[in-house]
Structure 1
Amino acid sequence: MPHGRPAKRRRITPPLDDDRPSETIKSSELFARAADWDLEQAYAQKNRGKKNKEPTRLPIKTAEGRVQRVEEEPKGDDSDSFLGSGSEDEANNEPDTPPTESEPAIQVPLKQQILSAKEDIARLAGHLNEDPEEHATAFKKLAQISGPNSPIAVQKLVLAAQAAVYKDVIPGYRIRSYKDDDLGTKVSKEVRQTRQYEQSLVAGYQAYVKHLANLAKVRKGDEETLSLRSVAINCVCTLLLSVPHFNFRTELLNILARELASREATPDFAKCIETLEKIFADDEDGAPSLEAVGILTKMMKAKDYRVREEALNTFFQLRLLSELSATSSTTRTDKPEDDASKLRGRKVKKEKWEHRSKKERKFVKERKAVEKDMQEADAMVNYEEREKMQSESLKMVFVTYFRILKARVPELMGAVLEGLATYAHLINQDFFGDILEALKDIISQADAASKGELELDDEEITALQDVDGEEIRNRTRESLLATQTAFTLLSGQEVSKAASSLHLDLSFFTSHTYRSLYPLSLDADIELGPKSVHLPDPHAPKSSQKAANKVNVSTPILLLTRVLTSILLTPSQPPPTVAAASFFKRLLTISVQLPEKSALAVLSLLAKIADKHGRKIEVLWYSDERKGDGVFRGEADTVEGTNVLSTGSGVWETELLRKHFCPKVREQVASIDKVIAGLHR
């Protein structure tokens, strides 16, 4: 009898089918034959014994007198069976042969990958929602579900899931980074667990923000890659609106600033504009707005202010100084605090029924006084900090406006003038002289361009046109805005003192307004704002039919009425008799050819002028009271050259307006005549 281990018998591969010989399974047929697999039976028949199992049979004594140990044969071993004699563990330990070129690697279908990713995301998100401190490692696992080679659909799912998870789990405070000394100190188990969770949260959030920044930098690629970039930008906007107080706010704002530096009005660009405006409008703290304004102004300066005007218009949403609705005051507490104090007062009244000594009552009274002082001090500190941050934001905005005004950037002139007119009451008086000179230059260039006297070289002409050759500068609107800005500069100041001390002369702007009344009355778009719906001209070239993105300003007629109100109805600076009568006569003339709404606006202004300066303009109705000589010149460009007090002037326009098709226009004219008639009695 031979000694030693018996020879190993070769395993024979079973045939796949009874009527077909053994062959290699192709990867394409692998999933088609998956239904034939009996996984439960294979798992039940699996040998779970140890690899080197100790023999349980006792040794025997052979006929020759030697003691020999007999090895056990494995159960179920059948030489005729196709399972072979090798143990199952040996078969499992055999290395798998790599797939050859004829046998490609198994590829999981896209639907299966998406389904698997959804299940993993739901499981990890559920853990974080249930107890985030116990599953702090889930942040990293959630990011590892997709990789650079994962399908785009899976990457989108992971990005959106991370944004939703961080939006829910981020606390309402900023997490500071712990130093080595802090980590080495002895703390309780709960504190240590909280620190570990916070560090995991910050580390995962930082990696997520970096990943979003890398995706947002990609501007070229196929449609799927650009769609992934859009998802990343949407995630950035969601985080800025949801958790603007948390860490890495600067990195998120930098992503928005890089997108706003683009010259193309893409949907991602519009999304960033909407997000930034909402941040400015909803910011009650002031710190996010200050940081956003700083990043945005630096980006504009780096781009030499060659940006879209929508980026500059976001400053209109800032809650600056007086526009900021303070949540606290220096003289009184907030309404919720007042309610709380009332509740505390009621509680004290109930406690008075309890037996207290005189010393205890004195102690409670002193404690309430200290709490009140602390609340007022806290409210004052918060108000001062917020006012300081708003002042810094206002300073950066004005610096940007002045630089653009000095550089004469054509596509941003309207936005800058509107911004100066909006925040004119906040500008320091020391800058009035320089601003007025710049505004005069703008109006002079507009007048020269309207007369065809403005000479430009090829580079300046190219700068004033967009890619389709259309002029992007509306000089009429710029002139109105410049005039409005000049009068608004002094609206919030002591006009008489400011004008005398700074030697401010606004007669140039008054003459320009008087001179531009006739051209404005013939403008077909006088009632249309920049965002009004225009029907395209079928005969116009296609380049001029595109919708132009203009500044969201008022209509020209509304700007004109504001300017005329500043000229004629300012209480501290009443107009002379000649100026009041000349403006009234010309406004009455242009109201004949204005559209219905514009005519009503002008006549409403004339009614206010008649009510306030009736004695100065009643000479237009009664020629016997006129003292002027000469001939009336209605086409004159100056107030004095019109000679409105001569015998040739009159109010014949009222006879035409009494027969106007609009009943409201007829009523407005009748009210003006009634006011003048009441003065003459």
Structure 2
Amino acid sequence: MGSVPAVKRRKLTPLATDGEELAVSTLEAVPNTNSFFKHASSWNLEQDYEIRPRKGKNKEKESTRLPIITSEGRIQQVDEPEENQEERNDLEWLEAQQSGEEIVEEIQKPTIPVREQILEAKEELARIALLLNEEPEENTGAFKTLAQFTQSPNSIIKKLGMVTQLAVYKDVIPGYRIRPLSDDDMEAKVSKEVRKLRAYEQALVGSYQDYIRELSKLAQSGRGTHPEASTSLSSVAINCACTLLTSVPHFNFRGELLKILVGKLSTRKVDDDFNKCRETIETLFRNDEDGTPSLDAVALLTKMMKGRGFRVDESVLNTFLHLRLLSEFSWKASTNHVDKRSMENGDNAKAKQKKVFLTKKERKLSRERKVVEKEMKQADASVSHEERDRMQAETLKLVFVTYFRILKMRSPTLIGAVLEGLAGYAHLINQDFFGDLLEALKDLIGHAEMEDDVEEMEHAEDGDVETTRNLTREALLCIITAFALLEGQDAHKAKATLSLDLSFFITHLYRNLYALSLNPDIELSAKSLHLPDPNDPHPPPAITTADNKINLQTTTVLLLRSLSSVLLPPLAQRAVPPLRIAAFTKQLLTSSLHLPEKSCMAVMGLLGKVTKTHEKKIAALWNTEERRGDGTFDPLGGEVEGSNPFASTIWEGEILRKHFCPAVRDGVKTIEKNILGLR
């Protein structure tokens, strides 16, 4: 057996100490020790030590926990676990990481051009509108989606959203008013179809209300500090409100739409939006069949005008002339009372006399039948005549209250509109209100005469200066209104209760005939455009649209209307004294010598009618031998009957026969033929 070689053992190196290990590693890292020590003298150890980061001692954090009592009875303070701090650091790190990701996403997100945004909005609006037009009950959520476009920061997309909603609501709104559901209606058991219809109606009403609120907010946006930036949006909102009011006036929130229009009419700035609102109100008045929308609009208009102290444009007040009650209403009213027809009492008496005896069973059937008829009337869209008359009566009282307040205030910009309105509503004024109106008209004419006298005294040296108020036109309008009120009354019934003496107005007209014939602007209306005299040392102030009266008739037309009311009253009031006719005829022929051509032709035509109607009463004026008057004629007298017209003759006809206008010459020949009885 061979010998086994001995196991070779390795020689283990003894463990080195810290100092030896550091020395060995240093020598290995820096093989050239001479160069190392050579450069060590240039090191700035203090600066390196100062720059080196230091770890400060951890400050002991104040514990926010309350001390506890251990089982041994000792009071011990419990420290907060370090895990909370670590979790908080983790959360802060995660939040910082998420915010950084969002910032990166925003930076990397591509911006869509405005043109593409508008095209995409158009396509989406068209798609939603098509869904709502085809099946609105199945797509009730599309109303809210459509409303989101009006919140876009892009004004073009916002306009498209408003116009699209307008077209959709015009198509889907039913022909009846949707009432809110009560608790009993919600608890009642109904079929699936009824439940579906109710859900659709409530969604429609809610979305429609939000749309009107948005229109109201945008309509007022043009009144801010920067109106130019939002004027277009305001115009679109006002146009949408006007279209809805004329298209669906029966639907819910009609009052909110009227507030938008009345708010625009309350401004004194007359622009396209103002005219659009005014025309919409007039259209609503003309097309109103049941009277409720007109009552709501008149109530808002009167409240607005009273709140602004009647400082509104005159065209707003003129909208009352478009109410249907002017031609449909048959009762008479005042500011606080309506006289119903006396026939109603007789009809009720006849109905009581024709009462038929019914058995108990027949009475029960009759009561059930009446309940069914009442429900059918409520479901029917038509309105009974009694309800319409009641609405129109309330509207008429509001109109009279507004007219009378303005008449008492003597508002210079609205007097013409009020007098025109009262002349139009003359046949609807009862006797109680008639006396108050005549007194107000007398005060107005007296006030005009006093102001004329004051102006003549103030400007005797400087010449006449035209004021903003045209007092001559106002006086003529008062005369026309007074006679229109008289024509609207039943003279035979009113004599017992009213004094129908209009001699005050007749005297005022007679005394101003000469002054009117010398007026250079007699053939111009309040809104006629004419340039001032450049050589006038005291030019009149510029007349703006807001200062003009509502009537467009010239002063000549107003004068002829007044004279026709005095000299040619209706057949029931044809008893005109001969002295009055003779005095006016003499004055008119004298005034014709100074009138312009067209006015002179019109006066000749009026005198032709007067001589044809009252030929026997005034024939003595054309015959010197048949004069019946004693004394002399006083053309400048204050009283008509005291001027003694039959003491003079008509010599003006000889001059008018040679007038340069052929129509005037023919008018004089017609007057003479009527006096001589030639036909």
Whether TM exceeds 0.5 here: the answer is: yes
Q: Structure 2: how far apart are the matches of 1:655 and 1:171? A: 74
Task: Map Cα deviations across residues 395-419 of structure 1 (whole Å, 9 max, x no partner).
Answer: 1100111111122222211211111
2:26 counterpart residue number: none
**Residues 651 and 382 (structure 1 numbering): CA distance in 2 closer, same or farther, change over 3 Å?**
same
Does 2:504 correspond to 1:502?
A: no
Q: Structure 2: how far apart are the matches of 1:157 and 1:539? A: 56
**Residues 534 and 102 (structure 1 numbering): CA distance in 2 closer, same or farther, change over 3 Å?**
same
Given the alignment, which residue of 390, 393, 397 partners 2:392? 390
**Residues 104 and 449 (structure 1 numbering): CA distance in 2 closer, same or farther, change over 3 Å?**
farther
- CA deviation after TM superposition for structure 1 residue 537, in Å: 5.9
1:277 counterpart residue number: 282
2:322 counterpart residue number: 317
Q: Structure 2: how far apart are the matches of 1:414 and 1:639? A: 27
Given the alignment, which residue of 147, 154, 170 partners 1:143? 147
2:626 counterpart residue number: 625
Quick check: 1:99–1:105 contact (8 Å CA) kept in 2? no
| Residue type at the aligned position of 1:132 | P
- CA deviation after TM superposition for structure 1 residue 265, in Å: 1.6
Does 2:489 correspond to 1:493?
A: yes
Name the % identity. 55
2:185 counterpart residue number: 182
Q: Structure 2: how far apart are the matches of 1:310 and 1:470? A: 23
**Residues 546 and 308 (structure 1 numbering): CA distance in 2 closer, same or farther, change over 3 Å?**
closer
Task: Map Cα deviations across residues 277-332 of structure 1 (whole Å, 9 max, x no partner).
Answer: 11111212211111111111111222222222111111011111544699xxx9xx
What's the RMSD between the two structures over aligned residues? 3.2
Q: Structure 2: how far apart are the matches of 1:151 and 1:325? A: 54
Given the alignment, which residue of 112, 116, 138 partners 1:112? 116
Given the alignment, which residue of 472, 476, 480 partners 2:476? 480
Quick check: 1:120–1:145 contact (8 Å CA) kept in 2? no
Alignment of 1:68-87 (within 5 A): none
1:428 counterpart residue number: 430
2:19 counterpart residue number: none
Task: Map Cα deviations across residues 247-271 of structure 1 (whole Å, 9 max, x no partner).
Answer: 0001111111211111222322221
Greater CA drift, 276-285 or 659-668: 659-668
Does 2:208 correspond to 1:194?
A: no
Q: Structure 2: how far apart are the matches of 1:454 and 1:287? A: 51
| Residue type at the aligned position of 1:502 | L
| Residue type at the aligned position of 1:483 | I
Q: Structure 2: how far apart are the matches of 1:641 and 1:439? A: 24
Does 2:128 correspond to 1:128?
A: no
- CA deviation after TM superposition for structure 1 residue 229, in Å: 1.0
Alignment of 1:295-314 (within 5 A): 295-314=300-319
Task: Map Cα deviations across residues 213-258 of structure 1 (whole Å, 9 max, x no partner).
Answer: 1112221224231211111111111110111010000111111121
**Residues 203 and 449 (structure 1 numbering): CA distance in 2 closer, same or farther, change over 3 Å?**
same
1:55 counterpart residue number: none
Alignment of 1:401-440 (within 5 A): 401-440=403-442
- CA deviation after TM superposition for structure 1 residue 496, in Å: 4.5
Alignment of 1:583-602 (within 5 A): 583-602=584-603
| Residue type at the aligned position of 1:316 | L
Quick check: 1:448–1:454 contact (8 Å CA) kept in 2? no
Q: Structure 2: how far apart are the matches of 1:381 and 1:243? A: 17
Secondary structure in 1 matching 2:510: helix
Alignment of 1:566-577 (within 5 A): 566-570=565-569, 571=571, 572-577=573-578
Number of residues paired by the alignment?
Answer: 527
**Residues 158 and 379 (structure 1 numbering): CA distance in 2 closer, same or farther, change over 3 Å?**
closer
Q: Structure 2: how far apart are the matches of 1:388 and 1:253? A: 21
Quick check: 2:466–2:540 contact (8 Å CA) kept in 1? no
1:445 counterpart residue number: 447
Does 2:545 correspond to 1:544?
A: no
1:578 counterpart residue number: 579
Quick check: 1:445–1:454 contact (8 Å CA) kept in 2? no
Quick check: 1:139–1:204 contact (8 Å CA) kept in 2? yes
**Residues 663 and 270 (structure 1 numbering): CA distance in 2 closer, same or farther, change over 3 Å?**
same
Secondary structure in 2 matching 1:237: helix
2:366 counterpart residue number: none
Does 2:233 correspond to 1:228?
A: yes
Q: Which runs of 5+ in 2 are unaligned?
A: 1-97, 332-340, 342-372, 459-464
- CA deviation after TM superposition for structure 1 residue 275, in Å: 0.9
**Residues 243 and 433 (structure 1 numbering): CA distance in 2 closer, same or farther, change over 3 Å?**
same
Quick check: 2:414–2:549 contact (8 Å CA) kept in 1? no
Given the alignment, which residue of 513, 516, 533 partners 1:517? 513
Alignment of 1:21-36 (within 5 A): none
Quick check: 1:321–1:387 contact (8 Å CA) kept in 2? no
Q: Structure 2: how far apart are the matches of 1:320 and 1:502? A: 26
Quick check: 1:446–1:479 contact (8 Å CA) kept in 2? yes
When normalised by structure 1's length, the TM-score is: 0.72
Q: Structure 1: how far apart are the matches of 2:426 and 2:175? A: 37
Does 2:661 correspond to 1:657?
A: no
Alignment of 1:335-346 (within 5 A): none
Quick check: 1:632–1:644 contact (8 Å CA) kept in 2? yes
**Residues 255 and 676 (structure 1 numbering): CA distance in 2 closer, same or farther, change over 3 Å?**
same
| Residue type at the aligned position of 1:229 | S
| Residue type at the aligned position of 2:517 | S
**Residues 567 and 201 (structure 1 numbering): CA distance in 2 closer, same or farther, change over 3 Å?**
same
Task: Map Cα deviations across residues 434-475 of structure 1 (whole Å, 9 max, x no partner).
Answer: 21111111101111222226999xxxxxxxxxxxx9943221
1:267 counterpart residue number: 272
1:19 counterpart residue number: none
- CA deviation after TM superposition for structure 1 residue 546, in Å: 4.0
Quick check: 2:294–2:323 contact (8 Å CA) kept in 1? yes
1:68 counterpart residue number: none
Quick check: 1:536–1:545 contact (8 Å CA) kept in 2? no
Q: Structure 2: how far apart are the matches of 1:520 and 1:601? A: 14
- CA deviation after TM superposition for structure 1 residue 536, in Å: 6.5
**Residues 539 and 317 (structure 1 numbering): CA distance in 2 closer, same or farther, change over 3 Å?**
farther
Given the alignment, which residue of 394, 398, 401 partners 1:399? 401
| Residue type at the aligned position of 2:113 | P
Q: Structure 1: how far apart are the matches of 2:121 and 2:490? A: 67
Greater helix content: 2
Q: Structure 2: how far apart are the matches of 1:564 and 1:256? A: 41
- CA deviation after TM superposition for structure 1 residue 574, in Å: 2.2
**Residues 310 and 677 (structure 1 numbering): CA distance in 2 closer, same or farther, change over 3 Å?**
same
2:164 counterpart residue number: 161
Given the alignment, which residue of 235, 238, 252 partners 1:247? 252
**Residues 289 and 665 (structure 1 numbering): CA distance in 2 closer, same or farther, change over 3 Å?**
same
Quick check: 2:150–2:159 contact (8 Å CA) kept in 1? no
2:336 counterpart residue number: none
Q: Structure 1: how far apart are the matches of 2:421 and 2:388? A: 22
Quick check: 2:262–2:304 contact (8 Å CA) kept in 1? yes
2:33 counterpart residue number: none
| Residue type at the aligned position of 2:115 | K
Q: Structure 1: how far apart are the matches of 2:108 and 2:155? A: 23
2:15 counterpart residue number: none
Quick check: 1:470–1:543 contact (8 Å CA) kept in 2? yes
| Residue type at the aligned position of 1:210 | R
Q: Which runs of 5+ in 1 are unaligned?
A: 1-93, 331-370, 457-468
Quick check: 1:250–1:291 contact (8 Å CA) kept in 2? yes
- CA deviation after TM superposition for structure 1 residue 393, in Å: 0.7
When normalised by structure 2's length, the TM-score is: 0.72
- CA deviation after TM superposition for structure 1 residue 381, in Å: 7.0
- CA deviation after TM superposition for structure 1 residue 630, in Å: 2.3
- CA deviation after TM superposition for structure 1 residue 578, in Å: 1.4
- CA deviation after TM superposition for structure 1 residue 199, in Å: 1.2
2:83 counterpart residue number: none
**Residues 511 and 159 (structure 1 numbering): CA distance in 2 closer, same or farther, change over 3 Å?**
same
**Residues 543 and 170 (structure 1 numbering): CA distance in 2 closer, same or farther, change over 3 Å?**
farther
2:37 counterpart residue number: none
Secondary structure in 2 matching 1:240: helix
| Residue type at the aligned position of 2:513 | L
1:556 counterpart residue number: 555
